Amino acid sequence: MRAIAHISDLHFGRHDPVIAAGLLADLQAENPDLIAISGDLTQRARRAEFAAAREFLDRLAAPVIAVPGNHDVPLYNPLRRVFRPLNRFHRYISPHQHPLFADAELAVLGINTARAAALSNGRVSQQQMDEIREQFQRIPRAAFRALVTHHPLTAPALAPDREIVGRAERALDAIADAGVDLLLTGHYHLASSRNVTSYHVTTKRTVLVSEAGTAISKRLRGEVNSYNLIRVDHLHVACEQRDWNGHRFASTRTERYTHFDGHWSAHG
């Protein structure tokens, strides 16, 4: 099986250096094939925060896919927010508009849902929906497919009244058309994994979702710092939540799913 470390909402500038060191140590020990970061690498998109995030990323051994979150867009500099909202993200973190990791077994695409016109919530554009379909159309049929966004496309399981990304219903249709197996999201600092079919009942296929908590930020919302370690192949997914226990990251629960007859289903 292939392993994806899904981390999110690092918020450099409001992070805990001890937990950051613990995360680096745990990622080194677990040795994932890919690290997917679903946004909010910084607290206020300041140059020093991006530099700290870059230093952290440079210490990771695995390939990294990272997408921006709303905190990676400047808040207090209106000119930069309007005209160059992601300039620092592209300079320090990734120059790619649609980062893609792909081989014969695994394909992970990232898209940006953060928008300068929105303070917190995000959107998926029609162009991005087309990009999802086109990029995955080039991927071998047998490859496991995942999509990384900052903003959730379905309401978090533990907070069903929270806002979701704009155009979510249409985006989920594009995701189903593209044969995506797994969504990786963050934003709300609430960790969970589940099947989205109960939310999006008209989808053409079942799609799994991994929502990551905040990995190293002090901005906790009733949960400890955590990240998700996800092991996948074409027929199986195991989503392991690894929580900070005050000394190190350790496994606290694992949700398992099996693909059968065109659908993903949970099992013990």
Distance CA 25, CA 41 (A): 19
Cβ contacts of 20 within 8 Å, gap of 6 or more: 10, 56, 216
Under a CB-based contact definition with an 8 Å cutoff, are residues 190 and 241 in contact?
no
pLDDT the model gives residue 155: 75
pLDDT, tens digit, 9 for 90 and up, residues 184-193:
999 999 898 8
Distance CA 187, CA 121 (A): 9
pLDDT the model gives residue 81: 64
pLDDT, tens digit, 9 for 90 and up, residues 88-119:
999 999 999 999 999 999 999 999 999 877 66
Q: Where are the beta strands (DSSP E) in 113-248?
A: 144-148, 182-185, 192-195, 208-211, 226-232, 236-244
pLDDT the model gives residue 268: 59
Distance CA 51, CA 14 (A): 14
Residue ranges of the chain with pLDDT lower than 70? 78-83, 118-119, 157-160, 196-204, 268
pTM of the predicted protein model:
0.94
- The residue to which tokens 């695409």 are assigned: 109
pLDDT the model gives residue 164: 80
Distances in whole angstroms, Cα of residue 42 to Cα of each of 64, 93, 174, 216, 265: 16, 11, 29, 11, 35
Domain 2-267: give its CATH superfamily. Metallo-dependent phosphatases (3.60.21.10)
- The tokens describing 172, both together, are 């989920």
pLDDT the model gives residue 201: 47
Long-range contacts of 88-96 (CB under 8 A, 24+ apart): 88/45, 88/47, 88/50, 89/41, 89/45, 89/50, 91/50, 92/50, 92/51, 92/53, 92/54, 93/41, 93/50, 93/53, 93/54, 93/57, 93/66, 93/68, 94/65, 94/66
